[in-house]
Amino acid sequence: MLRIILLGIILSIHFNINAQVLSGFIYNQKNNPLEGVSIYFLNTNNGTTTEEDGSFVLYRTVNQDTLLLFYPGIVTDTFILSKNENFIKLVLTEGITLNEVTISQNRSSNHFSLLNPANVETLNSSEFRKAACCSLAESFQTSNAVDLSFTSAVTGNREIQFLGLRGLYTQQLVENRPVFTGILSSLGYDLIPGTWLNQINILKGASSAIYGAQSMTGAINISLKKPDEDHRIYANAYADYHGRIESNLHLNKSWSKKSHIGLYLHGSQTSSNKDHNHDHFYDEPNQKRLNGLWRNTFYSKNWECQLNVQGILDQKSSGELKTNPNPYKVTQKLNHFNFSGNLGYLGFTNPDKSIGNIFDMAYSTLNNTYGEHKSLNAKESRFMYQMLYTNIYQTGMHKLNIGPTLAINIASEELFSSEYKKINYKEIIPGLFAEYQFQYGDIENSELKKWIVILSQRIEQISTNTIFWSPRISTRFNFNTRWTGRISGGRGYRHYRIFSDHMNYLANNRIIDIADLPNYESSWNYGLNLVGKPLINNSEIEINLDAYITTFQKQLIFDLDDNRPEKQYISFYELSGNSKTSHIGATIKIPIIKSISLKLGGKWINSKTNYHLGYRTQPFVPTWRALGSLDWESNNKIWSVNITGHFVGKMRLPDKTYLPSQLSAFYSETSNPFFHLQSQINYVKPHWEIYLGCENMTNYTQHHAIIDSKNTSSAYFETSEVYAPLNGIKPYIGIKWWLK
């Protein structure tokens, strides 16, 4: 890997001598920056994608004078450059298509930012076509940044790991709005259908506190399809070998150029009776889910407004096969309602000044049962409002964001088990944030800046007696137009939900022990990042290296190790001592030839916490992970194939000192490493697409995932010790149809 990086630096320096830098900004007709526009020189692989502020930078050789611009679902356009032109500002016009131009270059389906001050990886709609991507959680299967895992053999809920920690510590945003917090924190990544996704921005590190201090390890900001940009009608159907069927329908209408409405519907059902590992438990829950979203967008000369209404109904049932006259069953019911929107004013004389308002209201309930003697009921009401004032001074050298915030969260959790436990939460959090950005120096005679520093501050009253300060800093330095370095650091916090955060660990007979608890969780995060995009043989290689450390000051410890003979415990208590997670990752994307590209990635994680039994590695966190992804696309863009493999290394499992010998013989202190392989082939026509795929092609499954599965009333019965797939090979098929 190091040799490749050094070679890239040498070649990029050589290329700098023989090339001209082209930079600029891309806007839509409303004069808003367009993120994700693909820009290529015609008939080459020399291209890039615009950043969040619409900016881009490219090298231009002597004979390259025609730019091809593509924005998914809206426009394809060309622009002819004059001989010495090195900076442009373009406005893309809706509805332009080029029948006479053949788009022969491969557009990057995911990319790392060279210009953004934060370490951002962007996934767009082309990346989502490489796998089934039935939900947001499943959209990271070809990314090296986010890891997807199962957490229970009976609940089937999917979680993510990010920078070595659970997804609880990663802020989930939908178009800059914090979503699925509180009692849904461990479930949120499975509640957004894949067809709704337009783009995902993965932000590593605690770099900005504008949209909340809950981004303790980073944030995942999701952009959904909009009625004025999506197809008028879009339909999708999916089915797999394990009994899952799914359908999606998008209906969009433009009343005028200023008013648009969209209805997005999702329905899925899983009816499975498979028991691949022969433990007399279903491999996955039977499930029924309905999910609907109503979106409205309004534009005028000075105002922009968006309103959204979403509702989710979800039911799951799983557990022991009916061969037992009194089977162990788990049921899960989720109801969620959300009303959200934003309102922006752009009518100032100074076009660099604006005011934005964001609000979000939600009501959620959970009703789960775990066998006959344990159940969890939780409900939550949530409100969030934030105003954002933005002003840019001295032609972009200084930028200020400032505004007030208010968050209200009222929730309760009731756990019925051997003891009745009820916990009430009431959080009213006013706050104020300010972010200052300073830019200096030009990148090789362009108008883009070489050095950017962002100072982000957020002050909130998170409880009656606690004022929490979230200072953050991030800086980006461009060595040239091909290499960027970053440093970031910051503080964050979150309010936990004891039982909802750990609901996947309740399907057992452990005794729940709650000791002294922290009022909240807080941590510091520090990181380094290097991104390079050198050109070799006129093809761009992408290299991303990063290292992050997260250290906790306050943490709710969830302990599965503190056990006794004949008694197994789940212990909750406040951190006493150290809790630190280190993460080092590397990703490289290589275009082998025009139609074939390869992505390789790997990461090393060291996550340790001070438990009652000592300073130990956190369970269920692998020390090593690796990814390889190979893509092929035909010259006519009709056929495409992706093959992706994941290597998951050993991870520590909970302590089994007191497990009886007849059971402990099946288990060890660490998990077995394994390799997971998946593939998908797509066939695309102008108005429809069919895709065939297969997951877990090696048919690897974890056996003995449930401890003491034949005796569900024993003290040792446990369903949460899952580190690998429980399902065998899973072929699937899907079809999409749309009307532009």
Asked if residue 263 has pLDDT above 70, the reply is yes
Architecture of domain 112-739: Beta Barrel (2.40)
Section 640-656 average pLDDT: 95
pTM of the model: 0.89
Percent of the chain residues past pLDDT 70, beyond the cut: 91
CA of 446: how far to CAs of 41, 57, 441, in Å? 18, 9, 10
- The residue ranking higher by pLDDT, 528 or 62, is 528
Write down the pLDDT at residue 76: 59
Q: Are 721 and 707 in contact (CB under 8 A)?
A: yes
Write down the pLDDT at residue 9: 47
pLDDT digits (tens, 9 = 90+) for 532-551: 988 887 778 999 999 999 99
Write down the pLDDT at residue 238: 96
Region class of 168: left (phi > 0), else alpha (psi between -120 and 50), else beta: alpha
Write down the pLDDT at residue 96: 42
Q: Are 218 and 163 in contact (CB under 8 A)?
A: yes
d(CA 120, CA 221): 10
* Three-state SS letters, 2-20: HHHHHHHHHHHHHHHHCCE
Section 607-630 average pLDDT: 96
Write down the pLDDT at residue 101: 35
Write down the pLDDT at residue 20: 67
Write down the pLDDT at residue 77: 64
Question: What is the fold, at CATH topology level, of the domain defined by 2-105?
Answer: Immunoglobulin-like (2.60.40)
Section 347-374 average pLDDT: 92
Q: Which token pair is 116? A: 């953004």
Alpha helices in 497-538 (DSSP H): none
Write down the pLDDT at residue 684: 93
Give residue 616's pLDDT band: very low, low, confident or very high (50, 70, 90): very high
Percent of the chain residues past pLDDT 90, beyond the cut: 59
Asked if residue 13 has pLDDT above 50, the reply is no
pLDDT digits (tens, 9 = 90+) for 74-113: 555 667 777 667 778 877 765 444 333 333 344 566 788 8
Nearest to 389 by CA among 210, 178, 177: 210
Give residue 615's pLDDT band: very low, low, confident or very high (50, 70, 90): very high
Question: Minimum mean pLDDT among 324-328, 371-375, 556-560: which range?
Answer: 324-328
Q: Which token pair is 682? A: 């797509």
Q: CATH 2.40.170.20 occupies which residues in the chain? A: 112-739
Give residue 506's pLDDT band: very low, low, confident or very high (50, 70, 90): very high
Q: CATH 2.60.40.1120 occupies which residues in the chain? A: 2-105
Q: Are 670 and 245 in contact (CB under 8 A)?
A: no
d(CA 46, CA 22): 12
SS3 188: helix
Q: Are 518 and 572 in contact (CB under 8 A)?
A: no
Write down the pLDDT at residue 446: 63
- The residue ranking higher by pLDDT, 570 or 276, is 570
CB atoms within 10 A of CB 177: 21
Give residue 291's pLDDT band: very low, low, confident or very high (50, 70, 90): very high
Q: Which token pair is 412? A: 């309760």
Residue type, 244: R
CB atoms within 10 A of CB 490: 25
pLDDT digits (tens, 9 = 90+) for 301-317: 889 999 999 999 999 99
Determine which helix (DSSP H) or strand (DSSP E) holds 653, and give its type and residue range. none
Q: Are strands 303-319 and 218-224 parallel, antiparallel or unpaired?
A: unpaired
pLDDT digits (tens, 9 = 90+) for 138-149: 889 889 999 988
Asked if residue 19 has pLDDT above 60, the reply is no
- The residue ranking higher by pLDDT, 133 or 590, is 590
d(CA 236, CA 231): 13
Q: Which token pair is 716? A: 């040792």
Question: Mean pLDDT across the chain, nearest whole number?
Answer: 88
Give residue 14's pLDDT band: very low, low, confident or very high (50, 70, 90): very low
Phi, psi (rounded to 5 degrees) for 612:
-60, -30
Q: Are strands 165-166 and 158-162 parallel, antiparallel or unpaired?
A: antiparallel
Write down the pLDDT at residue 52: 74
pLDDT digits (tens, 9 = 90+) for 729-740: 999 999 999 997
Nearest to 234 by CA among 255, 206, 265: 265
Section 6-14 average pLDDT: 47
Q: Are 148 and 500 in contact (CB under 8 A)?
A: no
Question: Minimum mean pLDDT among 383-392, 489-498, 700-709: which range?
Answer: 700-709
Dihedral of the CA atoms 557, 563, 568, 569 (nearest 10)?
-20
pLDDT digits (tens, 9 = 90+) for 332-350: 999 999 999 999 998 888 8
Q: Are 179 and 199 in contact (CB under 8 A)?
A: no
pLDDT digits (tens, 9 = 90+) for 428-437: 999 999 999 9
